[in-house]
């Protein structure tokens, strides 16, 4: 990766935050590389005193200690907010409507609770919420709609998972954390176990158009998760309201 790309990205973050009139940035720190690299970029852009980390376990969190150490290495302030009680209240409320709660529901509630918490803290501090999603996850919809795919700006959204690793190393972040096997922190499985293909396979297709044995799986996941990328509405070629003649 060209060093100029990282420098331009840092400048873009700095300008974006300043132009918003906000005082800083709040980031959900999961212990994964995406949040760590996003926080690292934001520290470079607006300074460590203007970046705040939120660590939000749902009960126990396997990588909680990594999330804490990541914040400490970057020199940013952080808080740990356990969302388990909130999660349980949601589950009990849903049970009053649905006898059987699906895995889709139970797995996706925590990211949506975290999103709400991020915006609650950001709104009170006068900060922006940094989205930590990357291009690889976006293209196959490996994300929770209205959860971890939400934010006020997304520094990594045009970079693949492989490029995020490269970026983290170039920023001088802790190698062990940047190269750690990614997992969703929800199901107990690695990302690649859940996806059914490797990020390297996905990233080669995104950047170079290489179609290997995983291509059909990649394409299927891309297609069925279109709703996560584009909010669709019925289009009957209605004239734009703003194009109407007075």
| pLDDT score, position 174 | 98
Per-chain mean pLDDT for the chain: 92
Cα–Cα distance measured from residue 237 to residue 222, given in angstroms and rounded to the nearest whole number: 27
- The mean per-residue pLDDT over the stretch 123-136 comes to 97
Structure tokens at 1: 């990766």
On the 0-12 / 13-18 / 19+ scale of CB atoms within 10 A, 20 is middle
List of residues 6+ apart from 165 with CB closer than 8 A: 33, 178, 179
Judge contact between 132 and 156, C-beta under 8 A: yes
| pLDDT score, position 245 | 56
- The mean per-residue pLDDT over the stretch 237-246 comes to 58
Q: Which residue has the tokens 């293909």?
A: 197
Q: Is 235's pLDDT higher than 80?
A: no
CATH superfamily of 3-243: HUPs (3.40.50.620)
| pLDDT score, position 240 | 60
| pLDDT score, position 190 | 81
CA distances (Å), origin 99, targets 85, 96, 196: 20, 7, 30
Domain boundaries, the chain: 3-243
Q: What is the pLDDT of residues 44-92, one digit of tens each?
A: 999 999 999 999 999 998 899 999 999 999 999 999 999 999 999 999 9
Judge contact between 30 and 185, C-beta under 8 A: yes
Pick the range with the lowest mean pLDDT from 22-36, 45-59, 113-127, 216-230: 216-230
Q: Is 230's pLDDT higher than 80?
A: no
Judge contact between 225 and 141, C-beta under 8 A: yes
Start-to-end CA span in the chain (Å): 52
Q: What is the pLDDT of residues 139-188, one digit of tens each?
A: 999 999 999 999 999 999 999 999 999 999 999 999 999 999 876 555 56
How does residue 191 score in pLDDT terms, banded at 50, 70 and 90? confident
What is the sign of the dihedral through the CA atoms of 31, 36, 38 and 42? positive
- How much of the chain, in percent, has pLDDT values that exceed 90? 84
Q: Which among 120, 142, 118 is positioned nearest to 130, based on CA atoms? A: 118
| pLDDT score, position 229 | 82
Judge contact between 124 and 116, C-beta under 8 A: no
C-alpha angle 61-115-76 in degrees, rounded to nearest 5:
65
DSSP for 136-176, please give it.
HHHHHT-S-TTTTT--SB-TTTTS-HHHHHHHHHHTT--HH
- How much of the chain, in percent, has pLDDT values that exceed 70? 91
Cα–Cα distance measured from residue 95 to residue 49, given in angstroms and rounded to the nearest whole number: 43
């Amino acid at each position: 990766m060209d060093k100029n790309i990282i420098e331009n990205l840092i400048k873009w973050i700095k300008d974006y935050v300043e132009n918003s009139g906000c005082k800083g940035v709040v980031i959900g720190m999961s212990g994964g590389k995406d949040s760590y690299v996003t926080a690292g970029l934001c520290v470079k852009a607006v300074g460590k005193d203007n970046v705040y980390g939120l660590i939000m376990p749902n009960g126990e969190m396997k990588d909680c200690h990594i999330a804490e150490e990541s914040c400490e290495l970057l020199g940013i302030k952080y808080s740990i907010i356990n969302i388990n009680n909130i999660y349980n209240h949601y589950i009990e409320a849903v049970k009053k409507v649905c006898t059987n709660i699906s895995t889709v529901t139970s797995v996706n509630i925590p990211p949506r609770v975290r999103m709400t918490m991020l915006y609650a803290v950001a709104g009170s501090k006068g900060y922006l919420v940094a989205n930590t999603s990357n291009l690889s996850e976006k293209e196959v919809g490996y994300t929770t709609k209205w959860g971890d795919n939400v934010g006020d700006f997304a520094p990594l959204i045009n970079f693949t998972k492989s490029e995020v690793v490269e970026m983290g190393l170039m920023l001088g972040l802790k190698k062990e954390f940047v190269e750690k096997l990614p997992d969703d922190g929800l199901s107990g499985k690695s990302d690649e176990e859940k996806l059914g293909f490797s990020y390297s396979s996905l990233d080669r297709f995104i950047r170079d158009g290489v179609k290997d044995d995983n291509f059909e799986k990649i394409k299927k996941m891309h297609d069925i998760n279109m709703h996560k990328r584009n909010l669709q509405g019925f289009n009957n070629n209605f004239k734009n309201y703003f194009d109407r003649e007075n």
